[in-house]
Amino acid sequence: MNGSINGRDAPFSTIILAIWMVLMCFAVAFSYLSTTEELSPVYDTMVEAAEIADDAMDAIKEEKISRGIPISEDDILQTGMIGESYTTITTTMGVLEAKRTSTDPNWAAVVVGMFRRANLQPGDQVAMVFSGSFPALNICVMAAAQAYGLEQCIMASVGSSSYGANNEQFTFFDMAEFLYEKGILTHRLDLVSLGGASDVGNDFLDESVKNDIIGRIRQSGIAYLYEDDYEKNIDYRLWFIRERTPNIRFMINVGGSLVGLGTGMNAFVQTGYVEPRIHYSNDYITWGKRDSNCGLLQYFLAQGLPVASLLNIRGLALTYGVTYDPTERPQVG
């Protein structure tokens, strides 16, 4: 079967090819326009946050090298953000692939998107709870809040699962202090605990290492919490958050700390961004009266606030389009 192109007969297959090429041109143009139109209104803030996180991670790597701390062989992208499989402050087993995924600075952009979804405005107040298990994600959250212009209340614990910030001389507390002193992050940690068993480092293997870490925290002047009673621990943290951020609008947890996630089945309820759940209010009748197993996330959900939990890294990566266990270092943007 023949057709005609420019007055000449042409095979039907040629016509089909020509039509296909025209359609492809339209598709490419439409894709470009669609991509442009779908850029987030806070795209520039996302990029800024990711750049802050990237700079912070580079600085941590350089500081590790200067201190003689070797970059882990498991850190295939040489980010400096991967710890060892086991040290005296390692609390639980961690997934190496998840830890490597967490070093993507674009997680900071993901968190900015969460702030946007929560309708936060610059100057709004947020609270954060970190363990030492995902130091890169902790940095990304702090970078996101900094770029967004939020007031922060940051609580961090020292203990870490495998491949996290588990070097005894350079814990996440030490990393955060270093980045603050360098001026890369503009907000210090507000409160530090040891984490691990009972949030007081009961599973730390070396008492002298534990005491050395406590000494560094006390010397810094940052509030130090040592409370092994779970309910009293949560009570104090709720008071502390209200003192620092009385108009709190958002709560985010990174890692698997019990004080953030709660105990029992409560710890598995939420992942990623979570809208307030009205039915939780039955568990929290008045201030200070709550389900004894609930952590900070459940409490603030019950208060009608959106929260986020960054722990299930594989699922989060799939949800937010982040490459899982990348073989090349991701680029900002």
> Secondary structure of 300-329 in the HEC alphabet?
HHHCCCCEEEECCHHHHHHHHCCCCCCCCC
Cα→Cα distances 229→171, 198, 200, 233, 259, Å: 24, 7, 10, 6, 11
Mean pLDDT for 46-69 is 98
pLDDT of 108 > 80? The answer is yes
The pLDDT confidence band at residue 241, using thresholds 50, 70 and 90, is very high
Q: Report which of 254, 294, 235, 221 is spatially closest to residue 154, judged by C-alpha positions.
A: 254
Work out the mean pLDDT of the chain and round it to a whole number.
87
In the chain, % of residues over pLDDT 70? 83
Q: Residue with structure tokens 């750049």?
A: 51
Q: Report which of 156, 146, 108, 154 is spatially closest to residue 127, judged by C-alpha positions.
A: 154
Q: Report which of 179, 176, 181 is spatially closest to residue 157, judged by C-alpha positions.
A: 176
Mean pLDDT for 13-27 is 48
For the chain, the residue count is 333
Instruction: Count the Cβ atoms, other than its own, within 10 Å of residue 29.
Output: 10
Mean pLDDT for 95-115 is 98
Q: What is the pLDDT of residue 265?
A: 64
How many secondary structure helices (H) and strands (E) does the chain include? 11, 11
Q: Which two tokens stand for residue 231?
A: 């309910």
Instruction: Please tell me the least confidently modeled range out of 38-42, 67-71, 173-177.
Output: 38-42
Kindly provide the b/e burial profile for residues 215-242, where b requires at least 16 CB atoms within 10 angstroms of the residue's own CB: ebbeebebeebebeebeebbebbbebbe
pLDDT of 33 > 50? The answer is no
pLDDT of 166 > 50? The answer is yes
The rounded distance, in Å, linking the Cα atoms of 145 and 74 is 30
Q: What is the pLDDT of residue 266?
A: 58
Mean pLDDT for 237-264 is 93
The pLDDT confidence band at residue 6, using thresholds 50, 70 and 90, is very low
Instruction: Count the Cβ atoms, other than its own, within 10 Å of residue 259.
Output: 24
The pLDDT confidence band at residue 270, using thresholds 50, 70 and 90, is low
Mean pLDDT for 295-317 is 93
Mean pLDDT for 144-170 is 98
Q: Residue with structure tokens 């406590």?
A: 214
Question: Which H or E run includes 260?
Answer: helix 258-261
Q: What is the pLDDT of residue 88?
A: 97
Q: What is the pLDDT of residue 203?
A: 92
**DSSP category for residue 118:** T
Q: Do the beta carbons of residue 203 and residue 172 sit within 8 Å?
A: no
Q: What is the pLDDT of residue 301?
A: 87
Q: What is the pLDDT of residue 263?
A: 80
pLDDT of 5 > 80? The answer is no
| pLDDT tens figures, 192-218 | 999 999 999 999 999 999 999 999 999
pLDDT of 24 > 60? The answer is no
Q: What is the pLDDT of residue 38?
A: 75
Q: Do the beta carbons of residue 304 and residue 260 sit within 8 Å?
A: no
**DSSP category for residue 205:** S
Whole-model pTM: value is 0.86
Question: Which H or E run includes 125?
Answer: strand 125-130
Region for residue 132 given its phi and psi (left: phi exceeds 0; alpha: psi -120 to 50; beta: otherwise): alpha
